[in-house]
Amino acid sequence: MRWPGGPVATALRVVEVTEPDTWVDLTAEPLPLAEVVAWATVPGCGGLAVFVGTVRDHAEGRPGVVALEYEAYEPAAQQVLSQIAGEARRRWPEIGRVALLHRTGRLAVGEASVVVAVSTPHRAEAFAAARWCIDTLKESVPIWKREAWSNGQAWSPDAHPLREVGSGGGGR
């Protein structure tokens, strides 16, 4: 899906040019956790908080989860990841680097579905910003999870009505 010259293309181009310290991505490949951790480490920032979401072997009422499938509304989902990174910087200007990566497609139990990494000079801000980013990501990014468990498959019931980034709630 593309909107030539539309708002999404413009926003993405701006992000890429002006934010070398921001890394957002939607990818069907395994998330590069080690690279994210290394990339987010910068000399001015003594604290790096990372959150990794991984596919659990169970969900509410669904024992024996064997796989998940994530479907994203691209490229809008990628644009929302950029918005979250931008809003995090507005709330915590001390952020050095921020990474928000989400996996798409089919994932096995134990694979990482999402990684958030935030580096700041001091640890309190890194924890708070990383927590805000993952909470906001779960409410604001157009991504849907389909679960396949021991005797069925269906969309995840653990869903949130889509909210706009920065429309209240959490953090600073």
Partner 1 sequence: MVVFLGPAREAAGTGRSVVPGTSVGEVVASVRARFGPGMDDLLAVSRVWLNGAPADPDAPVGPDDEVAILPPVSGG
Question: What residues make contact with its own copies under the rule CB under 8 A?
Answer: 33-34, 37-38, 41-58, 109-110, 112, 119, 121, 123, 126-127, 130-131, 134
How near is the Cβ of 159 to partner 1 at its closest, in Å? Answer: 4
- With CA atoms as reference, report the closest residue to 108 among 80, 66, 141, 137: 66
Helix axes 76-91, 123-140, angle to 10 degrees: 150
Segment interacting with partner 1 (CB under 8 A) among 13-21, 37-45, 72-80, 88-96:
72-80
Q: Tell me which of its own copies, partner 1, none is bound by residue 168, counting a contact when its beta carbon lies within the kind-specific cut-off of 5 to 8 angstroms.
A: none
The residue to which tokens 């429309």 are assigned: 167
The burial class, CB within 10 Å (0-12 / 13-18 / 19+), for 114 is: buried
Q: Is residue 71 a contact point for partner 1 (CB under 8 A)? A: yes
- With CA atoms as reference, report the closest residue to 74 among 3, 16, 155, 162: 3
Q: Kindly determine how many residues on this chain lie close enough to bind partner 1 according to the rule CB under 8 A.
A: 36
Q: Tell me which of partner 1, its own copies, none is bound by residue 60, counting a contact when its beta carbon lies within the kind-specific cut-off of 5 to 8 angstroms.
A: none
How near is the Cβ of 16 to its own copies at its closest, in Å? Answer: 25
Q: Tell me which of its own copies, partner 1, none is bound by residue 156, counting a contact when its beta carbon lies within the kind-specific cut-off of 5 to 8 angstroms.
A: partner 1
Q: Which of 18, 63, 162, 172 binds partner 1 (CB under 8 A)?
A: 162
- The C-alpha torsion from 29 through 132 and 66 to 73, rounded to 10°, is -60
What's the gap between Cα 100 and its chain centre? Answer: 4
The burial class, CB within 10 Å (0-12 / 13-18 / 19+), for 73 is: middle
For its own copies, which is the closer residue by CB, 121 or 166?
121
Residues at the interface with partner 1 (CB under 8 A) = 1, 3, 6-8, 53, 70-73, 75-77, 79, 102, 113-114, 134, 137-146, 155-156, 158-162, 164
